[in-house]
Structure 1
Amino acid sequence: MNKPDLFRCFQKYINIAIQVSVSSRKSASSHMSSALVSNDPGKDFVIAGQYQLRTKLGSGSFGDVYSAISLKTSSEYAIKLEHIKARHPQLQYEYKVYKMLQGGSRIPCVHTFGQERNFNFLIVDILGKSVEEYFIMCERKFSLKTVLHLAQQMLSAIEFVHSRGLIHRDIKPDNFVMGLRLMHNKLYMIDFGLAKKYRDSRSLEHIPYREGKSLTGTARYASINAHIGAEQSRRDDLESLGYVLVYLCAGVLPWQGLPAKDKKEKYTRISQKKQATTIEKLCQGLPAEFVAYLKYSRSLRFEETPDYKYLDTLFQNLRRTVSTTNELVYDWSKPRNLPTR
């Protein structure tokens, strides 16, 4: 081998060695980076020296929800976790909202907010399954009696939130959950990461009407005004509740499952279908009270205080016509597939 060939061969091996070294460093760096930004806290993760994670209860855009047990008292809690580098962190804000709502009979008790390693955490009382989970268990349709039991409790929760100067802005079956044990028949409202003040805490002045807002909340249940870019207020929470109730009665809404190539087109098609569907058509086959509810909620002006009593009376009177007892027996609590004698 002559000298030029020997030099080229040597240079080739040097380049290979450099590439391997760089690749190894990148791989190691990648593994370190993954460890630093991992969204999995691990089974043995203990928060604030007291709360040990157990089972993952659910996930969302913010992060994950786990059940946890206090190593001091053996009490069980729900813990929401989000990575400290989350693109849109919301747990600290949600903690502040929960603090504003403490004392409400349909609001879970919030315990603390903080940071542990790479995570923000929010600790609240643990509750049962969501209305959406029970809905799926019941093959995606509730009896009218069950819907009316839920409707009055949902309306009560929304009224309380509004009384504290807040709107929820993401009313959906997933954000209403049932209690546990002695409270298993009681409904609670959760997930306040999108909540917003609609009035000033001191002056009680209502926020101004604006347009050109992006859609906040879940498109399936969003109000028409939210779709067209209007600032949301109390009326929008109530309109969303109307869609939730129709969904629970009918099993589906007309704007579900529309084909779309992306989220923008999906939102546009849902908005168009929602505006094109008359309230009478939407509530076809349902009692007239559902039509009255949606007509009223859509008729409200931006700053108008809703007549919650009127809406509650609609459901209360209807409930009396379908049930002779006030006993809270939901579809999911009825015995199913029991052997017959």
Structure 2
Amino acid sequence: MSTSSASKGDFNVGGKYRLVRKIGSGSFGDIYLAINISNGEEVAVKLESTRARHPQLLYESKLYKILSGGVGIPHIRWFGQEKDYNVLVMDLLGPSLEDLFNFCSRKFTMKTVLMLADQMINRIEYTHNKNFIHRDIKPDNFLMGIGRHCNKVFIIDFGLAKKYRDNRTRQHIPYREDKNLTGTARYASINAHLGIEQSRRDDMESLGYVLMYFNRGVLPWQGLKV
């Protein structure tokens, strides 16, 4: 089964979801719009090849389960294997903040930036309270809801998230150096670039860069050759 055949709508997952068309892609694989055959409801489906060198969809599905019930956390409908793919079925969401930023000619008012910041901080705080750091805070990983949730910001893509403290003892992971850069270079913290083990402050530093990007339209280091 190829993803091209999946886009023709002849590929069902979870016994009740039929793929309609591809709506996005990432390092893990592709995202499809799908329909619940029983009631016509639209959902999003992430497909990852079972032969992927670094599979992350199973891990991400477990993270969503841990975070489930939080405001701005997408609801997971189903996870499993279908043919040659790991499959994650989740709520269909609206455009990313990067999409909206481009739609608005790459200019957000200060009021818009502050209103987004309020929700984004809450999403990150909730993730941290569940003992995880996101490690890839960027405009593409925050999506607006649809329908009655159209003014709500959702946080997505927990494939790079990491547990930073033990649930029971509250012991934090040890300080380490010589780590490879995890996340997106443009928004990564200084410590992440220096190869230092990330913690909560690095998510917050990345958020600061995202908000500055929204406020100014560009970051000073964009386009620099390393």
Same-fold status (TM-score > 0.5): yes
Q: Distance in 1 between matches of 2:136 and 2:218?
A: 18
2:113 is aligned with 1:147: yes
For 1:221, the equivalent position in structure 2 comes to 187
Superposition deviation, residue 251 in structure 1: 0.4
For 2:70, the equivalent position in structure 1 comes to 104
**Could you report, residue by residue, the CA deviation over 1:4-33 in whole angstroms, capped at 9, with x for unpaired residues?**
xxxxxxxxxxxxxxxxxxxxxxxxxxxxxx
After superposition, residues 116-195 of structure 1 pair within 5 angstroms as: 116-195=82-161
1:91 maps to a residue whose letter is L
Are 2:63 and 2:158, in contact at CA under 8 Å, matched by a contact in 1?
A: yes
For 1:64, the equivalent position in structure 2 comes to 30
After superposition, residues 1-341 of structure 1 pair within 5 angstroms as: 38-40=2-4, 41-43=6-8, 44-259=10-225, 269=226
Q: Distance in 2 between matches of 1:116 and 1:155?
A: 36
**Could you report, residue by residue, the CA deviation over 1:205-233 in whole angstroms, capped at 9, with x for unpaired residues?**
11001000000000000000000000000
Superposition deviation, residue 39 in structure 1: 4.3
Are 2:7 and 2:22, in contact at CA under 8 Å, matched by a contact in 1?
A: no
Query: Which SS does the other structure have where 2:27 is aligned?
Result: coil
Query: Which SS does the other structure have where 1:192 is aligned?
Result: coil
Identify unmatched segments of 5+ residues in structure 2: none
Q: Distance in 1 between matches of 2:11 and 2:80?
A: 14
2:223 maps to a residue whose letter is G
> What RMSD over aligned residues (CA atoms) do the two structures have, in Å?
1.0
Superposition deviation, residue 75 in structure 1: 1.3
Query: Which SS does the other structure have where 1:98 is aligned?
Result: helix
1:147 maps to a residue whose letter is V
Larger fraction in strand: 2
Q: Distance in 2 between matches of 1:113 and 1:49?
A: 11
Superposition deviation, residue 134 in structure 1: 0.4
Q: Distance in 1 between matches of 2:111 and 2:211?
A: 12
Larger fraction in helix: 1
Superposition deviation, residue 49 in structure 1: 2.1
Are 1:80 and 1:123, in contact at CA under 8 Å, matched by a contact in 2?
A: yes
In structure 2, do the counterparts of structure 1 residues 42 and 181 end up closer, same or farther at CA, with 3 Å as the change threshold? closer
Q: Which has the larger radius of gyration?
A: 1
Are 1:67 and 1:78, in contact at CA under 8 Å, matched by a contact in 2?
A: yes
Which region of structure 1 is more displaced relative to structure 2, 70-79 or 227-236?
70-79
Query: Which SS does the other structure have where 2:222 is aligned?
Result: coil
Q: TM-score normalised to the size of structure 1?
A: 0.64
Identify unmatched segments of 5+ residues in structure 1: 1-34, 260-268, 270-341
**Greater relative contact order (Cα < 8 A, sep 6+):** 2
Count of residues paired in the alignment? 224
Q: Distance in 2 between matches of 1:169 and 1:42?
A: 31
Q: Percent identity?
A: 61
Q: TM-score normalised to the size of structure 2?
A: 0.96
Q: Distance in 2 between matches of 1:238 and 1:146?
A: 19
Are 1:39 and 1:82, in contact at CA under 8 Å, matched by a contact in 2?
A: no
Superposition deviation, residue 135 in structure 1: 0.4
Q: Distance in 2 between matches of 1:102 and 1:163?
A: 13
Query: Which SS does the other structure have where 2:46 is aligned?
Result: strand
Superposition deviation, residue 55 in structure 1: 2.2
